[in-house]
Each structure stands twice: as C-alpha cells, then as structure tokens.
Structure 1
Amino acid sequence: MKATLKQVIPPFIYDALKSSSKYGWFGNYLSWDEAKKNCSGYDSELILDRVKKAVLSVHNDEACFERDGILFYEEEYNWQLFSFLMLVAAQNDGRIHITDFGGSLGSSYYQHKKILSFLKELKWGIIEQAKFIEFGQKELQSNSLKFYKSIPDCLQDQSPQLLVFSSVLQYLEKPFELIDTILQFEYQYIFIDRTAFVRDVNHLITIQKVHPEIYDASYPAWFFNEDAFLSPFLTKYELVASFRNDDYCNKKDSYFKGFFLSKK
C-alpha cells in the first residue's frame, strides 16, 4: 500500500510538490538494514485508521475509490490492468479470479468494480497484513471480495488465474525470496505494475520520504535492475507485454514499469 505522489494526490498539489527536494527517494545503501536504520518509520495504526475510514466511504458509495486513504470522487481506471483482465476473462468464459498481493483494503477492486460489473463472475482475493485482513473480513468481505493472510489460504478457497503485484515488490526486504515462492504456485498469469527500476547493473536500495499530504513516513525501497528482476519469472513465464508507468521519481536514471506474464 505504499504510495507515489502522482497516484494519490490531486494534480495541482502534485505539480506544486514535484519541485520539492525534501520528498522522494534518496541514498544508495549497502543493505536493507542500513537503510532501515536511517528511516523515521511510520505510524502503522494511524495509516490503517486513515485507510479504514476512506474505504468505508467508498464501500458506502460516498466516493468512487481510495488509494492510501485519499478519496477520489471521479471514475479513474488502470487501463493496463483492465486490458489484461479482459484477456483473462475472454479465456475463462467471462470469469476472473484474482489474487491481489498487498492490495490494501481493496483499492484496485473498488476502483474497477463498476467497469467489471458485466462479468459472469469476479472473485478478488486480497493478501495483506494481519490487521488489514481482520478489518476486511469483518467489514468489507463479500462473495466477490475476500481477504486472506497468505497465498495458500487464498488457493484453498479460490482458483485464481491471475496474480497481481502493484507497487509492492520494491517495498519488501527480500523480494526475490517471495518471487521464488510464488513461482511454485503456478498462476496462469502474473500482472506486475508500478515497480521501480534503475539503469544500472546492480539493484539499488534507497529511502523513500513520503510527503505528509499522503502520510508522514520514510522507509527502505528497492530500485531493481530490470533484467535481473525479470530473470526468475522468465524461467516459467513468457513476457507478453511491458509498459511504462508515469509515476514521478526524483531518482536519477530511474523509471517505473509494469509487465504481463503468461505461464509457458
């Protein structure tokens, strides 16, 4: 549920903040632990409470969708994600089962719920931290939206064709351990979005300082070498498409990108 400025705040605020040198990604650290020691951290309870309040507004049709606790009152779709959801639906008789890893309290589900209402069946499973799961199961869960503590829990209850990672992998201490694990589950498709890369032969560990308009926090974040990032996926998957994201980043020689992969 980590945020980038353009994704979560109104354009006029984003443009004003873009010139600021205080917020963004900084440093080049030798290890995750070293970066973490130089972070202020964040108030997870405060962030969770903010997201809870926002998602309940969306759930009660008071807003179209939320992202990281910020409400949006006009429809806005991720057209790359939607396009590949349609591909999956076309191959599965209008039925889509999704595992959304790190999907907060259903941000992408609520954002696209209306435009996906014509499907014969939509099952959207969220994998998140325990406190998010507890709230989601109690207040938001439905036949279409469910919350799970782990991928195995999700697979016991559903038969998802698609695994989604949206702005998630760069915020994990050991992303390649997770990638090795998820490759064992053999999803038919994997959609990766808003992932940070650097034009360097080595991965980069930085500190992201978040603007208080989103929430007051700083935490470690990876920038991956693209070829090395994709390498484990390509042992079992074919790269169907790749696309650039327009997320702003102050880090030199960096960019955000997404991919759609299909099992070989």
Structure 2
Amino acid sequence: MFLKKLLFKLIRRYKPRSYGWFNSYSTWQEAQNQCSGYNSDAILKKVKTSTLKVKSGEAVFERDGVIYDQIYYSWPLLSQLLLAASQNNGQLSVIDFGGSLGTTFFQNRVYLQQLKKVQWSVLEQGNFVTTGQSEIAGNGLDFFYTVEEAIQNKGEHQVLLLSCVLPYIEKPYELLDYLLKFSFEYIILESTYYNYQPYDRICIQKVDPVAYDASYPCWLLDYEKVKTIFLNDYTVLTEYETGIHFYLDGERVEYKSVIFKRKDSLQN
C-alpha cells in the first residue's frame, strides 16, 4: 500500500501538465512577470456572453464563462444565505467581492426570488463592473467598484461573500484588514483553496483552456493563519471541505469553506 501511494505521488508530480498550479515564487511580481493576467477583454467577452444566456434563460448555469447543463449548488452556502435572510425579516443583502458578473446570484436565484427582498452587490474589476452595470444588473443585482460605493448606494449589507477570491489578491491580508472595518454580520470564505503546508506560498495558475486562455499569480495561503485574522471579532459557525481539489507537488490541495458570524450579533 505504501509503495502504491508513493507511485501515485510520483506520477502526479512528474506527469506533464499544460494547465493547473505550478512552481513557487518569492514575490508576487516575480510570478506576475510570467503570466498573461486576468484583465483581458477576451475573458470578459466570454463571461458576458455566457452570463447573458443564463440571465435570459437560454442557459442553466455558468462559471468562469463555461456553460453547464445543470446548476452545481453549494448547499451549505445557500443554507447560510437563507438563514441570514430569515433572521432579517426575509431580507438579504450581500456584498459579493470578486463575484464576476453575478455567477453566485444567478446560481441561487430560484431560491433568492422567494425572499421578501434581495440586494446583491458585486464588486469586481473595473471592466466587469462597467459591463455589469450596463448589461447584467437588475432584480436586486448591482455592480460597484468599491465597498463604500455599494454601501452609499444600497445601505449596509448583512453578508460579505468571498468565493475563491483571496488567492488572486496581491495583498490578501491587507484586503481582509480593510474589509473587517465594515463589521459585516456574516463573512463567508467560500470554496477557497489553501496550501497543504502551514505557510503562505505564491504559485502560477494556468487556466484550463476549456474556460479561457490565461495565467496569473496566486496565493496558496495558510488556512489557520487566515482564520486567525477573524477571531477577535468573529466566531466560526461552520467550516468544511467542499470536495473540490487539485494536486500540487503530488500533494492533494483541498478547497475549503468557512462561515463567520460577528460575536456581538450571536444573540440574534
């Protein structure tokens, strides 16, 4: 059995791959210099085309511009969103940081439509926000450039959602410090991958060309270190592995989710 596992790891480590996660870099800039980046008009065009089909009902579900013939739900995430709404008179307000053109909103809209009121504010790169505002927004879905702008236009939001966002932020801990200042009642780090070792690591991700042709630097963060950032003001409601994974250095890297609630709101 030991030899079988060792052979499996060696195959994973040395089997040639054209996409996935690669190498280790000392700085973000060093990795970025070898990447094409995410800020591409071709990527936006593909995501927009797929999202418009979902919005109109021509397609069922899209993720990263790829259309699927069924919706892949994250039931723990949806349950938490509905629970948050139930504690707020059937109303839900979400800031979806890095939410593309509303993937998660459309993924769950059959359920969200049953609520009394939904405000779903997506924060994204400038070209995505501009497109979202002009072609996608409606029925509670809006697009903003900053948290401040979203709050100014739509008021305080209950939930902060970050779906696999932190790996693609150059300074993720600075971002978290900034977001914590807004005192969201719930913070959800949804389906995010972390390093299989207890330290932060910078890699390059080459995207499966089925989605689009791109490569960019990314963090494999230390999961426990990330959690610690929240624990002064928040408590962990639940944490779990999503079942999604990939391999790096022959080791399995898991996607995890964790849901926090602000301590001073626990009685609610």
Q: With structure 1 as the length reference, what TM-score do the two structures score?
A: 0.89
Give the secondary structure class of the aligned counterpart of 2:47: helix
Unaligned runs of 5+ in 1: 1-18
Aligned: 1:82 with 2:78: yes
Letter in 2 for 1:209: K
CA RMSD of aligned residues (A): 1.5
Give the secondary structure class of the aligned counterpart of 1:27: strand
Paired residue for 1:255? Answer: 254
Q: Which has the larger radius of gyration?
A: 2
The structure 2 residue matched to 1:149, chosen from 145, 148, 156, is: 145
The structure 2 residue matched to 1:231, chosen from 217, 228, 231, is: 228
Paired residue for 1:221? Answer: 218
CA offsets, 1:9-61, max 9 Å, x none?
A: xxxxxxxxxx8622211111111111112224356100000011111111111
The structure 1 residue matched to 2:160, chosen from 125, 144, 163, is: 163
CA offsets, 1:137-184, max 9 Å, x none?
A: 111222411111100111112221000000111111001110000000
Paired residue for 2:177? Answer: 180
Contact 2:37–2:216 (8 Å) recurs in 1: yes
Aligned: 1:24 with 2:20: yes
1:236, CA displacement in angstroms?
Answer: 1.3
Letter in 1 for 2:132: G
Select between 36-45 and 188-197 the one with higher mean Cα deviation.
36-45
Contact 2:35–2:216 (8 Å) recurs in 1: yes
Alpha-carbon distance in structure 2 between the residues aligned to 1:225 and 1:104: 25
Give the secondary structure class of the aligned counterpart of 2:191: strand
Letter in 2 for 1:203: D
Aligned: 1:52 with 2:48: yes
The structure 2 residue matched to 1:124, chosen from 120, 124, 132, is: 120
Paired residue for 2:239? Answer: 242
Paired residue for 1:134? Answer: 130
CA offsets, 1:181-200, max 9 Å, x none?
A: 00000000001112121232
1:130, CA displacement in angstroms?
Answer: 1.1
Alpha-carbon distance in structure 2 between the residues aligned to 1:115 and 1:143: 13
Letter in 2 for 1:242: E
Paired residue for 2:98? Answer: 102
Contact 2:207–2:213 (8 Å) recurs in 1: yes
Alpha-carbon distance in structure 2 between the residues aligned to 1:143 and 1:177: 33
Compared with structure 1, are the counterparts of its residues 77 and 253 closer, same or farther at alpha carbon in structure 2 (3 Å cutoff)?
closer
Fraction of identical pairs, as percent:
38
Select between 208-217 and 175-184 the one with higher mean Cα deviation.
208-217
Give the ranges of 4+ consecutive aligned residues of structure 1 lying more than 3 Å apart after TM superposition. 40-43
Alpha-carbon distance in structure 2 between the residues aligned to 1:83 and 1:108: 13
Give the secondary structure class of the aligned counterpart of 1:208: strand
Paired residue for 2:10? Answer: none
Q: With structure 2 as the length reference, what TM-score do the two structures score?
A: 0.88
Give the number of equivalent residue pairs: 246
Letter in 2 for 1:257: K
Give the secondary structure class of the aligned counterpart of 1:246: strand
Give the secondary structure class of the aligned counterpart of 1:135: helix
Contact 1:223–1:254 (8 Å) recurs in 2: no
